[in-house]
């Protein structure tokens, strides 16, 4: 009885062992895949192209603490040439978000100071993506500073929103 | 017994996930996945529109976006050709400097590419730089091509017209002389 079980096990093992060779043989022509792009000199990218996040939350500001958080935005140059980027308020009459400030770095670096500039005065450049890359990213810090705000806010407002458009033109 | 131990370990693992910093990682991953970005592009980067006064000067432009909706178009000019490429320097409406512009002021885009036509026309000589801008109704990115507009008097056309007027003047003069001389000759012969 034991012999029968042993032979059965050997038979099953031999089938499994043998089938591994069969599968290896079947898989001997491994599929290799690669994307070949830009060989004819015509890339799909536009000359001027930009990618901007849809939403940014600046947290909370109050009369005693009129400066918001300063999150960073990742703006991508997805085009073919250097660009100049300028944030603009969609509604130029907007009273609160005209106190938006931007800077490209939080500390002094390489002779460039970390001064924030008000929306309307601020613009920055992003170099074209390096060869083989589809995008070049630049970090921009944004915050709201209502220290010099003279308007009246009668009651607490949650989720106050406005639209900022980042315009890219040739640099 | 073994079964209950496994459940216990599982619940311990979940407890570990909830209690530890992993929960922040989880929120971070969810935040990233819920964040979206808008991409928009325009070609060419520079549009040269050179021609003569009174003529339509046109060019083609390609707009591309992963946006689904309407794009708004706008054209503004700067004071001269030498201004810096900053959108805040382009704040003159075309009509104010005598330029008539035709282009789609709204454009429906459905995550695809659109070809549009822009045409300028002016009754006077102009040399200036401007931008053609497109931005979505509900979006946070806009793109612009620089426009280099050079509109000149068509001197050749002007000279031909002037020449024709002069020739016409000579012809009328000749006819008058012939008439006068003819009458004199007629009188003399009588």
Residue A147 is part of which domain span?
A: 50-170
A&B contacts, CB < 8 Å? 109
State yes or no: cis peptide before B44, omega within 30 of 0. Answer: yes
Same domain assignment for residues B133 and B55: yes
What span, in angstroms and rounded, lies between the C-alpha atoms of A51 and A166? Answer: 9
Q: What was the ipTM of the complex prediction?
A: 0.70
Cβ contact, residue pair A78, B39, below 8 Å: yes
User: Is the confidence at residue B5, as pLDDT, over 70?
Assistant: no
Cβ contact, residue pair B43, A54, below 8 Å: no
The chain A residue lying nearest B74, using CA atoms, is A167
Confirm whether A12 is domain-assigned.
no
Same domain assignment for residues B47 and B111: yes
Cβ contact, residue pair A48, B41, below 8 Å: yes
> Positive or negative, the Cα torsion across A89, A123, B37, B17?
negative
The neighbour count for residue B126, using CB atoms within 10 Å, is: 17
Same domain assignment for residues B123 and B29: no
How far B24 CA sits from the closest chain A CA (Å)?
17
Torsions phi, psi for B130 (to 5 deg): -145, -175
Q: Which of B41, B131, B140 sits opposite A52 (nearest CB)?
A: B140
Is-contact B47 B144, C-beta < 8 A? no
C-alpha closest to that of B123 among B50, B49, B53: B53
How far B126 CA sits from the closest chain A CA (Å)?
22
Contacts of A84 in chain B (CB under 8 A): 85-87
What span, in angstroms and rounded, lies between the C-alpha atoms of B144 and A167? Answer: 7
Same domain assignment for residues B27 and B57: no
Radius of gyration of chain A (CA): 30
Cβ contact, residue pair B37, A54, below 8 Å: yes
Residue with tokens 């009588």: B190
B141-152 vs A164-170, strand pairing mode: parallel
The proportion of chain A whose per-residue pLDDT surpasses 70, expressed as a percent, equals: 79
Number of domain units in chain A: 1
Give the helix/strand (H/E) hosting A54: none
The chain B residue lying nearest A166, using CA atoms, is B141
> Is A79 touching B (CB cutoff 8 A)?
yes
User: Is the confidence at residue B9, as pLDDT, over 50?
Assistant: no
Same domain assignment for residues B143 and B86: yes
What span, in angstroms and rounded, lies between the C-alpha atoms of B169 and A137? Answer: 69
- Start-to-end Cα distance in chain B: 150
Cβ contact, residue pair B143, A76, below 8 Å: no
Residue B60 is part of which domain span?
A: 40-155
Confirm whether A25 is domain-assigned.
no
Q: What is the pTM of this model?
A: 0.70
C-alpha closest to that of B113 among B42, B64, B41: B64
- What pLDDT does A112 receive? 66
Number of domain units in chain B: 2
How far B42 CA sits from the closest chain A CA (Å)?
5
The proportion of chain A whose per-residue pLDDT surpasses 90, expressed as a percent, equals: 48
Q: Which residues of B touch A (CB under 8 A)?
A: 35-46, 62, 64, 85-88, 131, 133, 135, 138-146
- CATH number for the domain spanning A162: value is 2.60.40.1090
Confirm whether A38 is domain-assigned.
no
pLDDT digits (tens, 9 = 90+) for A32-47: 777 665 555 556 788 9
pLDDT digits (tens, 9 = 90+) for A39-98: 555 567 889 999 999 888 999 999 899 999 999 999 999 999 999 999 999 888 888 999
Residue B79: C-alpha distances to residues B97, B127, B150 (Å) = 10, 10, 13
The single-letter DSSP state of residue A159 is S
Radius of gyration of chain B (CA): 35
> Is A65 touching B (CB cutoff 8 A)?
no
In the numeric block, which tokens belong to residue B96?
Answer: 């104010």
Cβ contact, residue pair A46, B145, below 8 Å: no
User: Is the confidence at residue B163, as pLDDT, over 70?
Assistant: no
pLDDT digits (tens, 9 = 90+) for B120-153: 999 999 999 999 999 998 878 999 999 999 999 9
């Amino acid at each position: 009885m034991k012999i029968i079980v042993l032979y059965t096990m050997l038979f099953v093992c031999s089938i499994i062992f043998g089938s591994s060779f069969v599968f290896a043989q079947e898989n001997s022509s491994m599929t290799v895949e690669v994307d070949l792009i830009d060989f004819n000199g015509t890339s799909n990218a536009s000359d001027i192209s930009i990618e901007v996040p849809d939403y940014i939350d600046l947290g909370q500001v109050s009369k005693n603490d009129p400066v918001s958080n300063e999150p960073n935005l990742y703006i991508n140059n997805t085009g073919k040439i250097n660009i100049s980027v300028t944030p603009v308020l969609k509604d130029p009459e907007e009273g609160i978000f005209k106190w938006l400030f931007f800077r490209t770095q939080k500390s002094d670096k390489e002779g460039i100071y970390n001064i924030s500039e008000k929306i309307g005065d601020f613009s920055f450049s992003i170099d074209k993506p390096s060869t083989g890359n589809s995008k070049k990213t630049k970090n921009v810090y944004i915050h709201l500073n209502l220290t010099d705000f003279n308007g009246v806010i009668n009651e607490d407002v949650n989720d106050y929103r406005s639209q900022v458009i980042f315009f890219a033109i040739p640099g | 017994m073994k079964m209950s131990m496994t459940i216990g370990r599982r619940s311990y693992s979940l407890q570990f996930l909830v209690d530890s910093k992993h929960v922040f990682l989880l929120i971070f991953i969810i935040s990233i996945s819920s964040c979206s970005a808008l991409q928009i592009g325009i070609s060419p980067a520079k549009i040269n529109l050179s021609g003569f006064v009174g003529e339509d000067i046109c060019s083609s432009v390609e707009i591309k976006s992963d946006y689904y909706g309407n794009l708004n178009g706008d054209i503004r000019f700067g004071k001269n050709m030498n201004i810096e490429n900053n959108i805040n320097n382009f704040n003159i409406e075309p009509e104010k400097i005598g330029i008539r512009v035709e282009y789609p002021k709204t454009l429906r885009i459905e995550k695809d590419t659109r070809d549009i036509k822009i045409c300028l026309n002016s009754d006077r000589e102009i040399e200036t730089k401007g931008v053609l801008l497109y931005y979505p109704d509900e979006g946070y990115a806009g793109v612009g091509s620089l426009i280099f507009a050079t509109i000149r008097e068509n001197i050749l056309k002007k000279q031909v017209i002037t020449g024709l007027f002069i020739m016409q003047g000579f012809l009328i003069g000749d006819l008058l002389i012939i008439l006068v001389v003819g009458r004199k000759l007629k009188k003399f012969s009588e």
